[in-house]
Each structure stands twice: as C-alpha cells, then as structure tokens.
Amino acid sequence: MYTFEVMASNSLGNIFKLSTFGESHGEAIGAVLDGCPAGLVVDMQRIQDELDRRKPGQSHISTQRKESDQIQILSGLFEGKTTGSPIAFLIQNVDQRSKDYRHIKDTFRPSHADFTFQEKYGIRDYRGGGRSSARVTAPIVAAGALAAQFLENQGVYISTWVSRVHDLSLDKKGHWSRDQIESNILRCPDSQMAEQMIKRIEEIKKAGDTVGGAISCSIIGTPIGWGEPVFEKLNANLAKAMMGINAVKAIEIGSGLQGTFRKGSEENDLLESKEGEIHTKTNNSGGIQGGISNGEEIFFKVAFKPVATIMQDQGSVDKDGNAVTVQGKGRHDPCVVPRAVPIVEALAALVLADFSLMARSSRC
C-alpha cells in the first residue's frame, strides 16, 4: 500500500497571485505571476536591481556563493508593458556545490527543515535544503519588484531597512530613502550604527557562529479601506507572508509587543479632523485597524533568528536515530538580515498589490 504526500501551498495572493517553483541546487528557480492588470509599464532594470540586492556574494558578511540571478521573462510582457496574461520568469542556478552537502545526506542539521521535511514527505533534497532553501526567495523578490511598480502608480511607497543586529538596535523611525538604506553593506540607514553592526557580525563570523536581527518596514500612501474584517485582514496577510520567510520568528505591527505593556488610555489612537480629513493623533495601530488600512503609515518589524548552519560541530542524529556530529560546511550567511531586506519589501508589495485589486470590488 502506498501513501502519497503532495507539496501544496506554493502560491501567495488571491487576485494578484504568485506561484513559485524550484530548488536550491536544481537547474533553475522561477515563478508565474497572475492577475497583474494590463498596461503597466515595467522597468526591467529595477527588477534586476532588486535581485542584485538579494543575491549571494555581495560582501564579506554574506554567503560567498556566486549567482548572477539574471532574470529571463518568458511571457506576459510586450513592448515593455504587461499584457494582462500570466507573467512567467526564470532564474538559472549556476554556482551549485552539491558536494558541500554530502555529509548531511543521512543526517539532520539542528534547527533546519531536514528532519520535518523527511518525516513529512519521506524524501528530501539535501543539497542546500532543496525547496526549503532561502534560495527560492529570489523569484519572490522579482515579482515583488513588479508589484512595487504597480503600487507606486497608485502613490504607495515601501521603505525597508535593517533596524537590529543581535542586541544593537536602531530606534529611529521614519520612511528612509533608498540612498540612505543602500549607503552601506548592512542596509542600515544610520552609518554609525551600521559600523557597529558590521563589526558585531564580523566578530561572530570569526568565531564560527551566526547572529539574528530585525528588519523594519514603512509603507506610506496606502488609502483607507484595503483589507477585510475577518479572514482577509491586511495585518493577518502581511504576517502570513512575513512568517513564510526563512528564519523569521516574529512580526510586530505598530507598537507590537510594547503596546501590550500599556493601558488602553495610553495605547489608543485618538481621531481628529484636519482640513476636512480624519487622521489619528498617534499611530500605535501601525496603519491598520480592524484588519483594514486607515490611511496612516503602515509600520511593522520582522525578527529573524540566527542562521542555523554554524561553522562549529553540533550534536544530532541520523535518519536511523543514531547519535552523530554534524560539521558546519559550505557557504552560508553569518547574518541573514542584510540580504533579507528586499525579501521583506517584495512580500509587502505583493500583499498590498493583492489588496489593492480586492478593494476595487468593495463598493459600488
């Protein structure tokens, strides 16, 4: 008797819908983006620029795997504009070193998806984690770059940056410019804090260890009314998208956890009318109330755990349950947050683009 496991849930979105495919060490990775309206002028260089922000080998504080991540559009564009048909694209894998992973063919790495993947499907591609690798976020970034262009045509702009590495935090809020964020390899808009964070990563990398951190996201220009009150809350879908990123352990929207330490009289965002428009005096809600955007800045923070592969020996078990020692090998990030900035930004854009289209059917 055979039992079959099918890998479902490789798609994101309701109308503006992305479906991805591929593995870390396969021939290629890619995606199909459906639901993008026709007539959008697409800046292909900007899409490639976003892929370059995510790709490996950027600096000495990222993995040294070398991938050009050149995007190939297969359908859905004509003369630089979307046609309304599905947009399919491909990104080749060119620098796989599968031999780096032979030592874990029959063993499970601590805090990876190795054990759960094997138990669920009865088979796993151990080369770089296969489908569970962060490598598969590249198509998400490409699609998100297109979604961001769609949103900017509506006056919606997204800013995403590194706000914490280990216990070093940048507490300044704001909607930082791309130039400020890209002014250093860490993508922290404060140069002095960035220097401290880079030094911390270097120290931890030298010890064969890894470290986590956080990424903040600010979205301005979102109109009132994006999101639904029950199962399609804007905050819920943002949280779902962010929690789908490798190594993400938490998301805080608005005041987040800090708000739970306050009284209602301190946390409530009071309403006021200015020049005929209603706004909130504060923004502890992070721009979302009742699952629906309220027109204020949407703000959230995403927390990443330390990269699970460390250059130290760790105890584990093999597929038969025997005790083994797992050795850290291969090319890995000592801290994932610098390369994760465009991933967070892309997913935010994809979620908002979907809600933009959904909102068009809310009222007559």
The answer to whether position 364 is within a domain reads: no
| Spatial separation of the C-alpha atoms in residues 87 and 141, rounded to whole Å | 14
Structure tokens at 174: 């704001």
The answer to whether position 1 is within a domain reads: no
CA angle 127, 128, 129 (to 5 degrees): 90
pTM, two decimals, is: 0.93
Check residue 306 and give its pLDDT: 95
The answer to whether position 296 is within a domain reads: yes
Total structural domains within the chain: 1
Confidence of residue 49 (pLDDT cuts 50, 70, 90): very high
| Spatial separation of the C-alpha atoms in residues 362 and 360, rounded to whole Å | 6
pLDDT of 300 over the 50 cut? yes
Check residue 85 and give its pLDDT: 98
Strand ranges for 76-165 from DSSP E: 77-78, 81-82, 87-92, 157-165
Supply the CATH number for residue 212's domain: 3.60.150.10
| Spatial separation of the C-alpha atoms in residues 6 and 170, rounded to whole Å | 43
Check residue 363 and give its pLDDT: 73
How many residues can be counted in the chain? 364
Check residue 1 and give its pLDDT: 46
> Model confidence over 178-189: pLDDT tens digits?
999 999 999 999
**What letter does residue 36 receive in the DSSP assignment?**
P
> Model confidence over 172-218: pLDDT tens digits?
878 899 999 999 999 999 999 999 999 999 999 999 999 999 999 99
Q: For residue 215, which of 169, 184, 179 has the smallest C-alpha distance?
A: 169
The answer to whether position 121 is within a domain reads: yes
> Model confidence over 327-363: pLDDT tens digits?
777 667 899 999 999 999 999 999 999 999 999 987 7
Domain interval for residue 296: 11-359
The answer to whether position 300 is within a domain reads: yes
Structural contact between residues 213 and 166, judged by C-beta atoms closer than 8 angstroms:
yes
The answer to whether position 6 is within a domain reads: no
> Model confidence over 22-36: pLDDT tens digits?
988 888 999 999 999
> Model confidence over 65-107: pLDDT tens digits?
667 889 999 999 999 999 999 999 999 988 656 566 677 788 8
Q: For residue 253, which of 301, 304, 305, 303 has the smallest C-alpha distance?
A: 301
The answer to whether position 3 is within a domain reads: no
The answer to whether position 238 is within a domain reads: yes
Neighbours of 263 (CB within 10 A): 7
